[in-house]
Structure 1
Amino acid sequence: MVSSRRAALRGASPALLAGVKAALTVLSLALAGVLALLAAGSVRMARRVVTPAARLPDTRILALDTGAQTITLSRTPDTELPGRYGLFTTGSSSYVKLGSVLSEDETSVKRKLLTHIGSDASLAPDAAFSGWYYDRPEQLHLDFTPELIGSTIGPCPAWLFPAGDGETWVIQIHGRGTTRAECLRAVPVFHGLGVTSLIVSYRNDGEAPRSRSGTYTLGATEWRDVDAAVGFARRRGARRVILMGWSMGGAIALQLSLNSAHGDIIEGLILESPVVDWRVVLEFQARSLKVPTAVSGLAIEALQTEWASPLTRSGGAIPFDRLDMVARAAELRHPILILHSDDDGFVPSDSSHDLVTARPDLVELQVFEVARHTKLWNYDQERWSDTIRAWVTERGLAPS
């Protein structure tokens, strides 16, 4: 049979052979083009993951009533949420506080302004909705001092809110693409418990020093800067430390709990909307953005490969296996409280549920609904605060 095929090919006309060769060339070029597009897409996604993100507009200001002190925004899953929030703006104000929803329709949401806006105000239409609420430490009306934490990367700015006898501290770690102001919401509940709050920065977050690559390692190295903060707390008299991490700050807190040189004074972790397994998060976000599975898979593979780091600009391989805390659940040794919404919309709660299943002896999960990513305090401040108070008190971490 093989010889007959060869004979047929030998007998084929030159025109037919030329056509076959041309078709094969076109197919090869097309395949190369597809592979090139996949590779380019994966590199773009990989760079986006590790590059510190600028805050981008995600809603529009449709109307501003300075007489009634109301603002109308385009409707999104965030802007329609009940509760208190913030809005990053440009113009005569850079940040305003938002109150409850007053009215809504299919395309817009009118909210109460909790920051007074004068009649001569001028705000650009593009704005960014935020769960921060407080954007400066002075707004808490609590005594605080600015501090510098000496890390191997350089001095990292922090805010210190003293409380109680100074022996129990909570060290708060903000998430990806934000700064330490994200954590201010939690200070009052800890202050009321007599727990000192230290709100820290870490490499490449826009406040702390920049690393050589200037990119995130998703918790794999950032934990060292927070470990320096634990050492700072210890030198200032802390005998017990709680780590509280928001979003990527949760991934940092989990790495710190396993690797800290001061693990003997870490008493527990509180994680708000945490990243527990980066692969799950990145795959979820890729699906949300309608990125092909092949592209997201290649991006993750590139990020965890040393040879691809010059392309991804990650500064080195990202150790996704080391950052997968469900797989490493047996190594955990500190009690953990997780606060996570099943409607998070950015960091899915699946891995938080999986971590409870893997370590029910250590991990407690409080599931919220409707509230979105790192907006649980905003959505239900009473439940959020009561849950933290109860967990801290039950473990004897609140000074008597």
Structure 2
Amino acid sequence: MVASRRAAVRAASPALVAGVKAALTVLSVALAGALGALAAGSVLMARKVVTPARRLADTRILALDTAAQTITLSRTADTELPGRYGLFTTGSADYIKLGSVLSEDATSVKRKLLTHVPAEARLEPEAAFSGWYYDHPDQLHLPFTPELIGSTVGPCPAWLFPAGQGDTWVIQVHGRGTTRAECLRAVPVFHALGITSLVVSYRNDAEAPRSRSGTYTLGATEWRDVDAAVGFARRRGARRIIVMGWSMGGAIALQLSLNSPHADAIAGLILESPVVDWRTVLSYHARAERVPGAVSRLAMEALQVEWASPLTRASAGIRLDQLDVVARAAELRHPILILHSDDDGFVPSDASHRLLAARPDLVEMQVFEVARHTKLWNYDQERWSSSIGAWLASQGITAD
């Protein structure tokens, strides 16, 4: 009986072994496919982070009434906001200014036009809502000159708005995927205080020269272009310099504060909707886009290692620890004003709150609600402007 069972096992063994091998092959292929998909997704996410963004349509023009000078847009979290804004369009105009909300329903918002649109105008339906409001320095009706700031990548265009005696300057740094026009809203606030404004560009922002890779380093190298602007200001007579950063410009301003050889001339930082810690921002967007946690974690690791740079198209590994200013809070030496909305919707305010908790001796934070990313001025211009003025006065930063 035993002998017959052994014979049966031996007879079945080749088939069993073949079956096991086939199953292992299938599992190996499936595992390789899953790992390949994970790696591919991670590379795509990492690449997206460092690639300069293009402006994308985020609303539609549903109706244009040139007689009443009103425009109706599809309703979004941005287009329904109170205040003054801008709209990037195509057709007979490329940018128009928008005023208050006149009426709204579940799917649309009607707003007042603040740019006159003639009866013969033809605008394409796809449009992009913007907090810029001003899109050219001429619209401020203030004297200015175009300048070129010499940096290691080449001459970076800037606008200089002189004010006061020229001893106190503010250098404004725009955010990711935008240009220096984003900063124009703040110029009149500083001009009224007698503070000269220098509105700068930096590598790969479509105005300044391109680096070899043509990609962002999230502040790790861009701060050097702003540091060149600090040197420019000092040569022009600036003794005290405020650095104001918007969104990713906040990350750049913080790296400047931590690394600049001109740190003694920096009197303080003003950060509008800033990136304080990139991991917080990247994790937020991964969740919003339902990216698996494993993919987002691997993407952040890929950004940091040199060997992955050819895949991510980054110029080199980006050390996210160095860009985490909450973790580096003890190194900060300049007073900071943060203006951030808890309803930002793009760069969460969590890291800003954590920085305030870590350095209450240096950091003051004005917390907004309702207002969306970099649209605090648009939503509540009076509070935004008075917050800056009060903070400057509290720091003894006034124009001579």
TM-score by length of 2: 0.97
Instruction: State the Cα distance separating 1:255 from its structure 2 match.
Output: 0.4
Structure 2 residue 252 is the aligned partner of structure 1 residue 230: no
Identify the residue that residue 46 of structure 1 maps to in structure 2: 46
**Structure 1 Cα separation of the partners of residues 173 and 399 of structure 2:** 22
Residues 1:389 and 1:8: Cα distance change in structure 2 (over 3 Å): farther
**Structure 2 Cα separation of the partners of residues 355 and 395 of structure 1:** 19
Instruction: State the Cα distance separating 1:11 from its structure 2 match.
Output: 5.9
Amino acid at match of 2:121: A
Instruction: String of CA shifts for 1:83-120, please: whole Å, max 9, x gaps.
Output: 00000000000000000011111111111110110111
**Structure 2 Cα separation of the partners of residues 389 and 300 of structure 1:** 38
Instruction: State the Cα distance separating 1:311 from its structure 2 match.
Output: 0.4
Residues 1:111 and 1:7: Cα distance change in structure 2 (over 3 Å): farther
Instruction: String of CA shifts for 1:4-27, please: whole Å, max 9, x gaps.
Output: xx9997563433332222121111
Identify the residue that residue 57 of structure 2 maps to in structure 1: 57
Instruction: State the Cα distance separating 1:394 from its structure 2 match.
Output: 1.8
**Structure 1 Cα separation of the partners of residues 242 and 8 of structure 2:** 78
Identify the residue that residue 193 of structure 2 maps to in structure 1: 193
**Structure 2 Cα separation of the partners of residues 71 and 293 of structure 1:** 41
Question: Share of identical aligned residues, percent?
Answer: 81
Instruction: State the Cα distance separating 1:396 from its structure 2 match.
Output: 1.8
**Structure 2 Cα separation of the partners of residues 157 and 67 of structure 1:** 39
Identify the residue that residue 284 of structure 1 maps to in structure 2: 284
Identify the residue that residue 260 of structure 2 maps to in structure 1: 260
Instruction: State the Cα distance separating 1:214 from its structure 2 match.
Output: 0.3
Identify the residue that residue 118 of structure 2 maps to in structure 1: 118
TM-score by length of 1: 0.97
After TM superposition, the structure 1 stretch with the greater mean CA deviation from structure 2, 192-201 or 257-266, is: 257-266
Identify the residue that residue 364 of structure 1 maps to in structure 2: 364
Amino acid at match of 2:229: A
Structure 2 residue 20 is the aligned partner of structure 1 residue 20: yes
Structure 2 residue 144 is the aligned partner of structure 1 residue 144: yes
Matches within 5 A, 1:342-353: 342-353=342-353
**Structure 2 Cα separation of the partners of residues 7 and 84 of structure 1:** 88
Matches within 5 A, 1:363-382: 363-382=363-382
Instruction: String of CA shifts for 1:213-264, please: whole Å, max 9, x gaps.
Output: 0000000000000000000000000000000000000000000011111111
**Structure 2 Cα separation of the partners of residues 9 and 192 of structure 1:** 94
Identify the residue that residue 390 of structure 1 maps to in structure 2: 390
**Structure 1 Cα separation of the partners of residues 119 and 238 of structure 2:** 49
RMSD value, Cα: 1.3
**Structure 1 Cα separation of the partners of residues 30 and 112 of structure 2:** 55
**Structure 2 Cα separation of the partners of residues 30 and 395 of structure 1:** 61
Instruction: Please list every run of 5 or more consecutive structure 2 residues that lacks an aligned counterpart in the other structure.
Output: 1-5
Matches within 5 A, 1:184-223: 184-223=184-223
**Structure 1 Cα separation of the partners of residues 153 and 346 of structure 2:** 29
SS at match of 1:365: strand
Amino acid at match of 2:315: G
SS at match of 1:12: helix
Instruction: Please list every run of 5 or more consecutive structure 1 residues that lacks an aligned counterpart in the other structure.
Output: 1-5
